[in-house]
């Protein structure tokens, strides 16, 4: 809680994400589709990179909101040059370079914070298996706001140092951004969070684990047609929230992505004077397995947009901000 930092944040918001009244006064409202990629910080394999490259070749007009992870750089034996080359090989001009954080032990400790092994979504961590790393499924809300600020600041600095720019947008590992996380993000200069989702998407795979109820508790009201909004952080501070309202491809089929699109289409049809946002995406680490779901979803969205003459564009928030 450093008032000066907060003040700087308050001043920065309109500069980085203009209210768009002036910028977009003449732009026709649209259904905006934001495609995001969560980089888990686990590993980068040639197979997943190849799947992402193929996606970029097949869908050249789609910018990606890349939530990058600093944990690749903190593992024992990490080769920063190789990591940067792999990231750059799938980045394109117009992409947004945001930040993703999971509770990796190497990242937490490199940030100068004592690692916590619980609560973890898959149950207690076997600490004998922490080489090269562990902690991906530790809920980051386990940490205090001061600790989170350290991890966020370290992550931002690490990515920036490696040529990835200074992230302004964020998605929490496992969507776990409670008020404490959001306050820490805002204090470190993040202006947009993209962690809200509908826990019902996760019920089938995670229903019997901690992930489902804690996500439900943090985001009780998020549904497929939830739109961007401001979250009040108290003391006059706030952060923008773009709900990941269509969830990620590991948990939704192409048809389910289309259903989320249709919920947003219905909202748009009800009031075509207002922009509408759908946030979908996939994980870098499971691109081979689940990117086909997203491809299918995008094809279905495009077919429906063409058939119904809907104004749809694929964009990232940093390109034009959000109309809230």
Summarize as ranges the residues that interact with Zn ion (CB under 5 A).
38, 40, 173
**184 vs 248 by CB, closer to Zn ion:** 248
| CB 53 to Zn ion: min, Å | 21
Rounded least distance, CB 159 to Zn ion, Å: 15
Residue 173 vs 321, nearer CB to Zn ion: 173
Nearer to Zn ion, 40 or 198 (CB): 40
Q: CB-wise, 173 or 228, nearer to Zn ion?
A: 173
SS3 letters for the chain? CCHHHHHHHHHHHHHHCCCCCCCCCCCCCCEEEEEEEECCCCCCCHHHHHHHHHHHHHCCCCCEEEEECHHHCCCCCCCHHHHHHHHHHHCCCCCEEEEEECCCHHHHHHCCCCCCCCCECCCCCCHHHCCCCCCCCECHHHCCHHHHHHHHHHHHHHHHHCCCCCCCEEEEHHHCCCHHHHHHHHHCCCCEECCCCCHHHHHHHHCCCCHHHHHHHHCCCCCCCCCCEEEEEECCEEEEECCCCCCCCCCCCHHHHHHHHHHHHHHHHHCCCCCEEEEEEEEHHHHHHHHHHHHHHHHHHHHHHHHHCCCEEECCHHHHCCCC
Shortest distance in whole angstroms from residue 206 CB to Zn ion: 13
Shortest reach from residue 216's CB to Zn ion, in Å: 18
Q: Are 262 and 16 in contact (CB under 8 A)?
A: no
Peptide bond before 204: cis, by omega within 30 degrees of 0? no
In this complex, which beta carbon is closest to Zn ion, that of residue 139 or of residue 240? 139
At its nearest, how many Å lie between Zn ion and the CB of residue 74?
16
Q: Which is nearer to Zn ion, 136 or 295 (CB)?
A: 136
Q: Nearer Cβ to Zn ion, position 175 or 261?
A: 175
Residue with tokens 């990242």: 107
Tokens representing 151 are 């991890």
Closest CB 69 distance from Zn ion, rounded Å = 8
> Smaller CB distance to Zn ion: residue 40 or 241?
40
Find the shortest distance in angstroms from Cβ 121 to Zn ion: 11
Give the shortest CB-98-to-Zn ion separation in angstroms.
12
* Token pair listed for 102: 């999971």
């Amino acid at each position: 809680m450093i008032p000066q930092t907060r003040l700087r944040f308050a001043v920065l918001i309109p500069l980085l994400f203009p209210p768009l009244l002036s910028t977009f006064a003449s732009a026709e409202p649209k259904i905006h589709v934001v495609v995001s990629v969560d980089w888990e910080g686990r590993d980068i394999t040639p197979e997943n990179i190849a799947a992402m490259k193929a996606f970029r070749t097949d869908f050249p007009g789609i910018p990606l909101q890349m939530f990058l992870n600093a944990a690749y750089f903190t593992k024992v034996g990490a080769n920063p040059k190789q990591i940067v080359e792999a990231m750059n090989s799938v980045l394109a001009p117009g992409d947004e370079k945001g930040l993703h954080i999971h509770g990796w032990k190497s990242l937490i400790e490199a940030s100068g914070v004592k690692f916590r092994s619980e609560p973890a979504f898959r149950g207690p961590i076997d600490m004998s298996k922490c080489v090269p790393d562990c902690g991906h499924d530790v809920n980051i809300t386990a940490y205090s706001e001061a600790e989170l600020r350290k991890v966020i600041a370290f992550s931002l600095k690490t990515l920036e140092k490696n040529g990835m720019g200074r992230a302004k947008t964020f998605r929490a590992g496992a969507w776990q951004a409670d008020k404490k996380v959001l306050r820490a993000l805002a204090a470190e200069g993040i202006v947009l969070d993209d962690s809200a989702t509908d826990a019902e998407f996760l019920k089938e795979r995670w229903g019997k684990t901690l992930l489902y109820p804690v996500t439900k508790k943090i985001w009780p009201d998020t549904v497929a047609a939830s739109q961007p909004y401001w979250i009040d952080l108290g003391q006059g501070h706030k952060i923008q929230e773009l709900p990941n309202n269509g969830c990620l491809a590991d948990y939704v089929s192409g048809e389910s992505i289309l259903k989320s699109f249709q919920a947003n289409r219905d909202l748009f049809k009800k009031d075509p004077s207002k922009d509408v946002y759908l946030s979908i995406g996939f994980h870098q680490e499971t691109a081979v397995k689940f990117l086909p779901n997203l491809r299918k979803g995008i094809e279905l969205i495009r077919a429906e947009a063409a058939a119904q003459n809907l104004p749809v564009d694929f964009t990232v928030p940093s390109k034009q901000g959000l109309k809230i």
